[in-house]
Structure 1
Amino acid sequence: MRLFYTLLGFVCWLLALPGLAGPPTVPGRLVLKLHAEAGSAAAGLGALRPALAALHATSITQKFPLSQLPNTERPGSVNLRQVYELTVPASLALAKARAQLLATGVVEYVEPLYIREPQYQPNDPLADSTAANNQYHLRLTQAYRAWDFTKGDTSIVIGMTDTGIRYTHEELLHQVKYNYADPINGKDDDGDGYVDNFRGWDFSNNNNDPMYEAYTGHGTQASSIVAGQADNGKGLAGVGFKSKFLPLQVFPGTPTGSFAGYEAIVYAADHGCRVINMSWGGAGGYSRFEQDVCTYAAVNRDAVLVAAAGNTSGDILFYPASYDHVLSVSATDATDSKASFATYSRRIDLVAPGVNIAIAYGRPTTTAAGPPDTDYWHGSGTSFAAPQVAGAAALVRARFPQLTAEQVMAQLRRTADASIYALAANGNYQGYLGTGRLNIARAVAGLSQREARVVRSAFSPVQPAGYAPGDTIRLATTVRNLLLPVGGLTVTLRSLSPYLTVRRGTFAAGNLATLNEASNDAAPFRLAVAGTVPLNTTATLNYHLVGDNGYVSDQYVDVLLNPDYVQLDAGNISLSLTSRGNLAYDDPTAAVGRGLSYRGSTPLLSEGGLLLATSPTRVADHLRASPGTVRQSFFTLAQVRRLAPGPRADQEARGVFRDSLPDAKLPRSVGVRVRQRGQSWASPAARRNVILLDYSLRNLTADTLKPLYAGLFADWDLPGEAARNVARWDSVSRMGYCYDPLAPRFYAGVQVLGPRPTGIYSIDNAAPVGTPIYLGDGFSPAEKYLALRDGFGRAHRQAGTDAQGSDVSQVVSTLVPRLAPGDSATVAFAVLVAPTLAELQAAAKAATAAYQQPLAAVPVAAGGTWQLYPNPTTGRLHVALPASLGPATVQVLDALGQTVSSAGLPSGGGELDLASLSRGLYIVRVVGTSLVQRVVRE
């Protein structure tokens, strides 16, 4: 079983590089899974109806109604009958859908449906195709010797999930697993829900012809490698020899079709495929739905899943190859060197030849390769390496029918040729090509191998989006022995990152018989995150397993450190504050950030963040734009950091970001730098319901900004029925707030603090086309400016009716009448949540008092004051000390209170060099005195 951990996979594709796009998704379609505790399907769907209506969902369909229910004899099996597909407006933001559906309390996850791609690497038509080079991979992987042990069996069926497959090709015609229980007669004779699925199914176009495509090359080619008919005196021989294959088309051959790889996996598993091949995938885009499907096929149905690792030539996660329970296969060439195009990573299980592989071509018309159904060619890609492993898995299953899918995978890994690592060409890929190159003969020769494998990694405390600097972590693991008994097994945990230290790293698993397990739950591994960690750092941990008789193996698990947000949660409100001015989440998928909740509630805010504008075309924000997109106005100058405690509050957060200077190419920018600060309190009681936010705005342009509008956008989705909220205005508290008028559980709002004027623009998200702000087609810069500017009138203070409510948002704003070049001004807001309106209003009063409270004066040593300058600084910091103090030791502390620099200064002071420190907020302290000041490193 492959180790996969939500910690990294859920977000790493988004965090890897700024602006990096994830895999494409199917517009207007989402997938959700009901909680096991939701009760019956009828009860769960009943609880969902109001949210579905609010989201304008036009259909909800159970994806796998006939799937096998979990089996207690197969630990880890999943229930796919709780998975449903939604059809929603294509413009609907995923974060919005997630917030409303999760708020019902009956939904486990909500995700988009990703579109994956075939992993074919186009090959030069003039590539060598002489007889000497035909099917060299059979020689290299010792398939000929393997066939002396077994030629497989027709009862072993390999599910080929791919493009259309030309099953009429002479190599494939007699290798198809035909379903004689459902002949083509217009009836569902076998009652499996598919009419006339005699030769497989086209899931992408929902019909019974998996050759429904003008070009059926990729599917035909991959299928011929695994199942090409051997001993027929024609063409080539498939690795699986006698094994049959089931054609399953997952890529559309028409404009109306859609990718359906995971539906095909379930079908293959439910229809008896012992091996399933997936020569397709995509970089990033971890999906719990996709993982559930793979778990179902492998655990519930005991199928061996094999996937191409991708043609990225990079060290990345690639799905489905990187999921648990999937063999990830990369590619080598005829010399056993890593193929130039092949993905490499510690997630690879093994490799197989993937360069210039002989294939059946599959063209529908005569080409240089030959007439239809008799054409052959050569091709390259991990798409053509994976089917070799799938064919080998079929041979192992025929040779050793007693092995589970998990054991078959272990047998293939442990019998691979690790000698490829001795090649100079592979010197830079040590540990990144799995256990070596596929050796089919060794895999089927006998059961003489050992493999113990860590099958569970449970991090605590659970932090779905990663760990902050200074955190301590516990890691409980379970190790399972898959093959021959292993004695004296010890698991040692080692960190490959300087930012993550293992404090307790040894686990004695002892003697394990075949399929026995051991865990270290009673004494888990212990780890510590460094005090200073670069933004979005991936730390790799190594499980080093050693047993008797020279048994050694390694596995790896990654942990995300220092994600790009902080959590303010000293009081009742828990709020994620990002480095680009967003509240709750940093991205449209709601993957980065832990949201906004109250006393452990479901998420209350689907989207929120800072808005700045001076005109309809000069608007700055990091909020929704056109459907499925986010405006990228802000970029980070100093990552947001949390200080606990801070000078004014039990928790404080600081960060710096800015937008671009306006010019001919960027006319929509405002041109400001923003220093943001957040504060959270554990006491007194009223302040526990407050998060205070203030923003110092500096004009970076050569023009006077007049006026400069600033506001917070909040799309509230309060629990119960998110579409049954109303938005109201409290002029006394200067606060916009929302609640459910029929069953209020929480009141939530945003308040303007300080003397500046207040604006409020309440938005009915379900308002029809023609409304001044129509969110159905996104949120344009002009609409954002309108919400800021027109909030100072009286026309937009309410949204939704007390009779039934609606789905509502608010923009609570203020303005700076005039901001000259180089000048700064501060605007401040409070985010408030409380169980009653009276308590919300009390929280507003507490927020006002907290904002007006002066910072306690720092006692000054006798003999005068002291100064730090320049502040902010880019490196050099001059410290002027009172002369009477004499020589002194000065410390620099980071946002977590840890000392990052210390220096002895002479009487009167001197200079500190902060150039080596990352950008952010620091505390400078004179040891032995009460002299403390803050400094910003830019």
Structure 2
Amino acid sequence: MLRSLTLSLAFIAAFCSVVSAADVEPRTVVITWRSGSPSFLAWQAAGRRGPITDLTPLVGVHSTAPYILDATLTAVDRAHALRNHTVIRQTPDRTISRIMVVKYEADVDPAYLARKLSSLPDVQVAEPLSRHHLLEMPNDPDVGLQYHLPLIRAIDAWDVLPLNKTIVVGIVDTGIDTAHVDLGANVWRNSGEMGLDANQQDKRFNNLDDDGNGFADDWYGWDFLGADGTPDNEPLPGNLHGTHVGGIVAAVINNAIGVAGVGKNIRVMPVKIGYDDQFSSTVGRSSDGILYAASMGASIINCSFGSGSPSFADVTVIEEATTLGSLIVAASGNDGVNMAFYPAAYPQVLSVTATDELDQLTYFSNRHSSVDVCAPGLTIYSTVPGDRYDYLNGTSMASPVAAAVAAMVRLRFPDYSPDETRAVVMSTCDNVDTLNRIFMGLYGIGRVNALKAVSESSPRWVSVIRSTFTDADEDGFFEPNERIRLSLDIRNELEPLSHCVVHVTPAPAAFQPEIVTDSIVVGPLAHGQTVTLAEDVLIDLPSDIPFNGELRLMVTITDSSQFVSRQMITAVVNPTYRTIDVNYLAATVNSIGNIGYNDYPSNVQGVGLSYKGGPSLLFEGALMVGVQPRDLPNVARGAQTDIKDTSFHPLRIAELRTDSVPNGSRIVTAFSDIYDPWSIGLSITQNVYAMTADSLKRTLLITLDVTNRVDTVIRDLFVSQFYDFDIGPSGSNNGCAFDRSKGIGLIQNTTRPDFPSVGVAMISPLPMNFFALDNDGDVSSPSIYDHFLRAEKWTTMSGGIRRANSRITDVSTIIGAGPFSLAPGESKQVCFVIAVGEDYTMLSSDIASARAAAELMGLNAAPYKEIPIEDRISYIEGSPLLGPGSHDVSFAVGQTSPVTIDVIDLFGNPITTVVDNEQFQAGTYTRTMNLPNIAQGTYFLRMTTFTSSVIEGFGVVR
């Protein structure tokens, strides 16, 4: 199967790398419903409010609200009705009305829940709700005033602009001091809400929506948050940020007062998305703010806020605003790192980073291939509330500089579309590469030049709109010494080209590839024309590329040898994970013990575990090893559900091989727990085999060669695999059970027999451990929606067949071997099988075949011996530390017998009785223990039957 990596405009390339930087609202997810889906229609019929029945099993108690307010939708509809859609087409699918915010009570991580919800058939996208922040950096006033105006030649540009024409820039921010002596005259006014109504009342204050845009009395903008989240019609400042940004764009010129804005003949539209608190740097309802500004006629919309978290919902909003004729200009972020920042990094947005008075990138500026231009953003002097002025630093200050330039372009050339305006601003930048060589391609094309932007009558710009990498062996992984191909689609945004040529060169990076095909002739290229290059660019990767390295290529467009445009293209090379796909199963294996995906919980680096090319059946697969609850190296989700433990350090990067496999392939990797704070002293070599024989083509065989690398004996070692299988949407209605007669754990969707089933087995001649876990928790199972602590992991991976059956819910499976001991230098191999098939008969047959094949291969596999039920205490709710009160106790009885269960102290003195000489048949049971108010310390739960007496310790805290 041919695999390729397609990068779409800087957005998709950055998506996976920023999840760790995401700043999201707790207990909140955003869902975009599929058009016409039953859940959406029911929600719409309920007024886009109220709980959703289909979500309750997964989310629990919850409420919903529209992502875009009804009033904003009205404003958008009105704006579309007023527009000439022969110029810019209205979006035919009203996606913005199908976006819903869900707030829930359960302590479940939003990123984890969103991934689960994404598999529901009615859900197009589920994602956390991004929390955006302002991007200024205050500083003492110790530099000269407004160096940025002459630097970008703004004053010269004013003379080129037409007289008696104005343009509106939306300032979606923290509000504007509309009475500021140096800004108030340039604040936008809504003519539809001014003058007298039919009753001779002032439209500004009559509490009526006179212009029919969904907002009453919005005569000079709108406040979407107010003091306590309640919208109002007074977009006056909380934080001074918005007034400073507004002054950068349009402080009054030639009034002999204070400062001058970058732009002339600009009116700023106050759209407040910050709270009234002057110290708050958090903003909300930014999408409503953007759509309001676009609907009310803002040609340019400045967004000096953002986060590292991308959002499909926000992309939809940006696209809608663009169809209304608005260009979004946004700040690239102040983290001082190479990362994408949103909304700046979205397609169609002009992304701006900050430079200083010497045109050098500032220390706080984010840099990334998604950045389009740079502009002055250090010590910018502008208006602040109360007729005052101050200096601020940040990409928040650079963005309005570029926004003002874009506004003057559209004022000078009113027929330009948003995309064309963006292209003009980029095409007329000054080159500052000599001052920023190490960041070339990461701070945009150059620093904005206002005079060039408004003076250039024949600007030229060509965009790369698609880039696709493919490799020679067609596995989708770009490795050392491999030749890869780059396919490009380009679009001419502006003036026609007569002899277009595409040049590809290495950009500054940690390694330099050899470009075999460095130029491709396109020929004539008309305005708006899109072409796929007739040939691919051939690239030879060197032998010394780093793991998870970034390939950086500069794509330069010329026309008859004259420069036209430049854009950086990136790709991840030499990744530390591989995918095996030679039989009916495809699975990704990384270099530290995960199977399924490399980047839990984003789950975009890898294929999971798929059957016959279908959707992934595995949400998370992880290795866990331990000798006690504390000393338990693992790579499963941890104390925070959205962050996995990372106990293992790679010793050998995952490698796909065909040796030592009868008719198939294997992935081999090795890792150690050497850097884990509670290291046991292990090194582990893992092999994942996929074979193509008829009886094996639905199986994966996994071996773990576990070696003691320290000079002491490792005793009571347990080795387990954790699997969160999701069979069907979100893994709901799944069940898990252990078949003692065959040693197989079975996972099925109980309502969809047409979905495949999954079987897992530990096939080595070692003690077996198994736990059927309810992800949402139960009296006999920990919940892993809130966290998966090491103590909980220990409970599920030790103690034999501890829980043989789950409830019907979202489930996980823990299967493993132990206890066993390892002398210094000793190794022991533990073997597992995963099988997928149409029914249990097929699964059990395939697992038996895999067990036999493993024996023939000389692996540590043996025929299965049935495990009898033993008398045991399998679970104490809340253990290991309990307080007074009720706690459920689960226990197993091996044969019919009277059972007594009681609590005793260290000296054997009875404290309370749970079960008093009650007759039980063989099986598993749950009873309630009422623990009295006793002293802190160690206690034991003792179970006595005809044949045995077993105890389980716990601690009491008060």
Q: Fold conserved (TM > 0.5)?
A: yes
Corresponding residue for residue 782 of structure 2: 773
After superposition, the Cα gap between the structure-2 partners of 1:198 and 1:672, relative to the gap in structure 1 and judged at 3 Å, is farther
**2:739 corresponds to which of 730, 745, 749:** 730
Residue 365 of structure 2 corresponds to residue 342 of structure 1: yes
Corresponding residue for residue 229 of structure 1: 252
1:466 & 1:549 partners in 2: Cα distance?
35
Q: Look up the SS of the partner of 1:621 in the other structure.
A: coil
**1:547 corresponds to which of 552, 559, 563:** 559
1:461 & 1:410 partners in 2: Cα distance?
32
Corresponding residue for residue 705 of structure 2: 696
**1:629 corresponds to which of 625, 629, 643:** 643
1:493-532 paired onto structure 2 within 5 Å: 493-496=504-507, 502=515, 504=517, 506-520=519-533, 523-527=535-539
Structure 2 letter corresponding to 1:588: P
Q: Look up the SS of the partner of 1:620 in the other structure.
A: coil
User: CA contact under 8 A between 1:636 and 1:657: conserved in structure 2?
Assistant: yes
User: CA contact under 8 A between 2:357 and 2:378: conserved in structure 1?
Assistant: yes
1:581: how far off?
Answer: 1.1
User: CA contact under 8 A between 2:14 and 2:339: conserved in structure 1?
Assistant: no
User: CA contact under 8 A between 1:280 and 1:308: conserved in structure 2?
Assistant: yes
Corresponding residue for residue 356 of structure 1: 379
Residue 47 of structure 2 corresponds to residue 33 of structure 1: no
Residue 298 of structure 2 corresponds to residue 273 of structure 1: yes
1:454 & 1:436 partners in 2: Cα distance?
17
Residue by residue, what CA displacement relative to the aligned partner does 1:913-932 show, whole Å, maximum 9, x if unpaired? xxxxxxxxxxxxxxxxxxxx
1:817 & 1:413 partners in 2: Cα distance?
65
1:826-865 paired onto structure 2 within 5 Å: 826-854=829-857
1:534-573 paired onto structure 2 within 5 Å: 534-548=546-560, 550-573=562-585
User: CA contact under 8 A between 1:273 and 1:303: conserved in structure 2?
Assistant: yes
Residue by residue, what CA displacement relative to the aligned partner does 1:104-136 show, whole Å, maximum 9, x if unpaired? 3444433222333322122124x14xxxx3323
1:751-770 paired onto structure 2 within 5 Å: 751-768=761-778
2:327 & 2:519 partners in 1: Cα distance?
31
- RMSD (Å), alpha carbons: 3.6
Corresponding residue for residue 878 of structure 1: none
Structure 1 letter corresponding to 2:846: A
**2:804 corresponds to which of 769, 784, 797:** 797
Q: TM-score, normalised by structure 2?
A: 0.78
Residue 149 of structure 2 corresponds to residue 138 of structure 1: yes
1:752 & 1:550 partners in 2: Cα distance?
66
2:344 & 2:287 partners in 1: Cα distance?
13
Higher mean alpha-carbon deviation, 214-223 vs 835-844, is at 214-223
Q: Look up the SS of the partner of 1:817 in the other structure.
A: strand
Corresponding residue for residue 585 of structure 1: 597
2:690 & 2:827 partners in 1: Cα distance?
24
2:716 & 2:153 partners in 1: Cα distance?
76
After superposition, the Cα gap between the structure-2 partners of 1:781 and 1:738, relative to the gap in structure 1 and judged at 3 Å, is same
1:526 & 1:81 partners in 2: Cα distance?
45
After superposition, the Cα gap between the structure-2 partners of 1:222 and 1:211, relative to the gap in structure 1 and judged at 3 Å, is farther
Corresponding residue for residue 936 of structure 2: none
Higher mean alpha-carbon deviation, 727-736 vs 187-196, is at 187-196
2:232 & 2:469 partners in 1: Cα distance?
46
1:734: how far off?
Answer: 1.2
User: CA contact under 8 A between 1:305 and 1:327: conserved in structure 2?
Assistant: yes
Structure 2 letter corresponding to 1:28: R
Corresponding residue for residue 116 of structure 2: 100
**2:321 corresponds to which of 280, 297, 300:** 297
1:672: how far off?
Answer: 1.9
1:81 & 1:389 partners in 2: Cα distance?
31
Corresponding residue for residue 9 of structure 2: 4
Residue 742 of structure 2 corresponds to residue 742 of structure 1: no
Structure with the bigger percentage of strand? 2
1:848: how far off?
Answer: 0.6
Unpaired segments of 5 or more residues in structure 2? 1-6, 46-50, 194-203, 860-958
After superposition, the Cα gap between the structure-2 partners of 1:116 and 1:841, relative to the gap in structure 1 and judged at 3 Å, is same
Corresponding residue for residue 130 of structure 2: 114
Corresponding residue for residue 875 of structure 1: none
Q: Look up the SS of the partner of 1:174 in the other structure.
A: helix
User: CA contact under 8 A between 1:500 and 1:530: conserved in structure 2?
Assistant: yes
Structure 2 letter corresponding to 1:813: G
1:843 & 1:471 partners in 2: Cα distance?
37
Structure 1 letter corresponding to 2:151: L
Corresponding residue for residue 651 of structure 1: 665
1:707: how far off?
Answer: 1.2
Q: Look up the SS of the partner of 1:755 in the other structure.
A: coil
1:24-63 paired onto structure 2 within 5 Å: 24-35=23-34, 41-42=40-41, 50=54, 53-56=57-60, 58-63=62-67
1:429 & 1:397 partners in 2: Cα distance?
30
Corresponding residue for residue 96 of structure 2: 80
User: CA contact under 8 A between 2:224 and 2:232: conserved in structure 1?
Assistant: no
User: CA contact under 8 A between 2:420 and 2:493: conserved in structure 1?
Assistant: yes
Structure 2 letter corresponding to 1:297: A
Q: Look up the SS of the partner of 1:693 in the other structure.
A: strand
User: CA contact under 8 A between 2:517 and 2:538: conserved in structure 1?
Assistant: yes
**1:815 corresponds to which of 810, 818, 821:** 818
Corresponding residue for residue 612 of structure 1: 625
After superposition, the Cα gap between the structure-2 partners of 1:790 and 1:169, relative to the gap in structure 1 and judged at 3 Å, is farther
1:783: how far off?
Answer: 0.9
1:414 & 1:154 partners in 2: Cα distance?
24
Structure 1 letter corresponding to 2:645: R
1:655 & 1:669 partners in 2: Cα distance?
19
Q: Look up the SS of the partner of 1:777 in the other structure.
A: coil
1:136-175 paired onto structure 2 within 5 Å: 136-150=147-161, 156-175=167-186
1:437 & 1:292 partners in 2: Cα distance?
29
1:657 & 1:170 partners in 2: Cα distance?
66
Corresponding residue for residue 222 of structure 2: 201
User: CA contact under 8 A between 2:622 and 2:721: conserved in structure 1?
Assistant: yes
2:566 & 2:560 partners in 1: Cα distance?
15
Residue by residue, what CA displacement relative to the aligned partner does 1:154-203 show, whole Å, maximum 9, x if unpaired? 75221212234333323333333233545455455555444554443344
After superposition, the Cα gap between the structure-2 partners of 1:722 and 1:313, relative to the gap in structure 1 and judged at 3 Å, is closer
Q: Which has the higher contact order (CA 8 A, sep 6+)?
A: 1
1:739: how far off?
Answer: 0.7
Structure 1 letter corresponding to 2:459: Q
1:44 & 1:540 partners in 2: Cα distance?
46
User: CA contact under 8 A between 2:328 and 2:349: conserved in structure 1?
Assistant: yes
Residue by residue, what CA displacement relative to the aligned partner does 1:442-486 show, whole Å, maximum 9, x if unpaired? 211241322222223345699999645677655443322222221
1:224 & 1:23 partners in 2: Cα distance?
30
1:786: how far off?
Answer: 0.6
Corresponding residue for residue 425 of structure 2: 412
1:380 & 1:5 partners in 2: Cα distance?
26
Structure 2 letter corresponding to 1:266: L
2:481 & 2:665 partners in 1: Cα distance?
15
1:58: how far off?
Answer: 1.6
Higher mean alpha-carbon deviation, 734-743 vs 457-466, is at 457-466
**1:642 corresponds to which of 653, 656, 659:** 656
User: CA contact under 8 A between 1:465 and 1:591: conserved in structure 2?
Assistant: no
1:735: how far off?
Answer: 1.4
1:87: how far off?
Answer: 2.7
Corresponding residue for residue 21 of structure 2: 22
User: CA contact under 8 A between 2:88 and 2:324: conserved in structure 1?
Assistant: no
1:248: how far off?
Answer: 2.5
Q: TM-score, normalised by structure 1?
A: 0.79
Corresponding residue for residue 874 of structure 2: none
Q: Look up the SS of the partner of 2:21 in the other structure.
A: coil
Residue by residue, what CA displacement relative to the aligned partner does 1:781-812 show, whole Å, maximum 9, x if unpaired? 1111011123434xx10012xxxx21211211
Unpaired segments of 5 or more residues in structure 1? 15-20, 363-372, 857-938
2:89 & 2:589 partners in 1: Cα distance?
39
Higher mean alpha-carbon deviation, 195-204 vs 224-233, is at 195-204
Corresponding residue for residue 806 of structure 1: 809
